[in-house]
Amino acid sequence: MNEYLSPLEWRDDALQLLDQRLLPVEEKWVACRTYEETARAIRDMVVRGAPAIGCTAAYGVALGIRQGAPLDQVCAALAATRPTAVNLFWALERMKQVRAAGFDDYLKEAHRILAEDIAACVAIGDHGAPLLPDGVVLTHCNAGALATGGYGTALGVIRSAVKKGRNLRVFADETRPFLQGARLTAWELHKSGIDVTLITDNMAAHLMQRGEIQSVVVGADRIARNGDTANKIGTYGVALAAQAHGIPFFVAAPLSTIDLRTPSGKEIPIEERDRREVTHVGDRALAPDGIGVRNPAFDVTPHALIAAIVTETGVAREPYVESLAKLFDAKP
Ligand code: MRU
């Protein structure tokens, strides 16, 4: 157990996941005892958020080994769940490197990945906190404790700034269509006693124009070598609006989200999810049957719109091709 809220834990010989589809109405944990159950939980968004997906996949590998399934088969099933968040592939690579035969060794490595992710988030918070000006900080989607091993990336920066006594309030974009902002960010910040105000996605530019937002901080699903950043759909629009109003736009993410093998945002695969997420809220239809629907789950914010990228080893700024690579040298 760690001191922070975490969306996953190992208990009763199983991986327990806080079912994020049910929040904030219900706090229910689901147990995964096989790698197939773990893969389904990732695909169906029981657990989501790039670092949390990576940690979950690591436990999924351990479960597969316990089942006696071949490592390659287990990793392939987990890799096929969600294509954009690179932490998933990063974690599978780490697990493939475990130099031992037994389940215990794989489980230990999964525990290590989880503990390292939490430590990275706290360090991201410490590096990022001084960057935020006092006033209102806008965030999009959920890059909080629920999206990581605990503490959060973008919300980690906010948590650390608030802890240091800074005068901050948070505006949370609701984040259509899955509503991570309304359901998850608002829930976890409120639970932590951090001042949070919910807005719909189409209100952000208006509030920036009125001078009601002083900074933006978001998480990332994959950061390319040149700093282009894939994050939840709608992030790009927020970055454009921030630039138009001279508001600094920050990205906070662990090194496991930086993919130096992907040269730019053009090469980042963008997940397209089920049309039902757009046409329905729960069981209720919002749109007529028979129409076309698109549901890209992520977009890419070009590096030129990003004031800084905050990681556990420090803060990168333009030119990102150089500064991001340097951050890896600082890794202990
Ligand atoms: O589809 P999701 O909910 O997995 O998307 C999550 C995001 O886009 C987050 O901002 C990102 O993963 C960073 S989480 C620290």
Banded pLDDT at 2 (limits 50, 70, 90) = low
**Mean pLDDT of the chain, nearest integer:** 97
pLDDT at 101 exceeding the cut of 80: no
Give the Cα separation of 153 and 126 in Å (integer): 10
Give the Cα separation of 25 and 23 in Å (integer): 5
Strand order in the sheet with 14-18: 8-11, 14-18, 29-32
Distance in Å, CA 232 to ligand 1 centroid: 6
Mutate to test the pocket of ligand 1, among 180, 184, 236, 310 (most ligand atoms within 8 A of CB): 180
The predicted pLDDT at position 114 comes to 98
- Ligand 1 atom nearest to CA at 180: 3
Distance in Å, CA 102 to ligand 1 centroid: 32
Mutate to test the pocket of ligand 1, among 42, 48, 153 (most ligand atoms within 8 A of CB): 48
Q: Are 108 and 61 in contact (CB under 8 A)?
A: no
Phi, psi for 297 (deg, rounded to 5): -85, -15
pLDDT at 189 exceeding the cut of 50: yes
pLDDT at 136 exceeding the cut of 80: yes
Average pLDDT over residues 288-310: 98
Catalytic residue among 221, 228, 259, 299: 221
The predicted pLDDT at position 140 comes to 98
Give the Cα separation of 147 and 176 in Å (integer): 17
Q: Which residues line ligand 1 (CB under 6 A)?
A: 48-51, 85, 141, 143, 147-148, 153, 180, 219-221, 231-232, 297
Phi, psi for 236 (deg, rounded to 5): -60, -45
The predicted pLDDT at position 100 comes to 74
Each residue's pLDDT tens digit, 22-75 = 999 999 999 999 999 999 999 999 999 999 999 999 999 999 999 999 999 999
- Ligand 1 atom nearest to CA at 219: 13
pLDDT at 1 exceeding the cut of 60: no
Give the Cα separation of 172 and 236 in Å (integer): 16
Q: Which residues pair with 310 in a beta bridge?
A: 252, 315
Average pLDDT over residues 110-127: 98
Token digits of residue 236: 């790009």
The answer to whether 221 is a known catalytic residue is yes
pTM for this model (two decimals): 0.97
Distance in Å, CA 144 to ligand 1 centroid: 9
Strand order in the sheet with 196-199: 196-199, 168-173, 135-139, 215-218, 249-252, 308-311, 314-316
- Ligand 1 atom nearest to CA at 20: 3
Residue nearest to atom 5 of ligand 1 (CA): 49
The predicted pLDDT at position 332 comes to 72
- Ligand 1 atom nearest to CA at 298: 8
Distance in Å, CA 320 to ligand 1 centroid: 22
Lowest mean pLDDT among 177-181, 258-262, 280-284: 280-284
The predicted pLDDT at position 331 comes to 77
Distance in Å, CA 214 to ligand 1 centroid: 23
Mutate to test the pocket of ligand 1, among 159, 231, 256, 270 (most ligand atoms within 8 A of CB): 231
- Ligand 1 atom nearest to CA at 218: 10
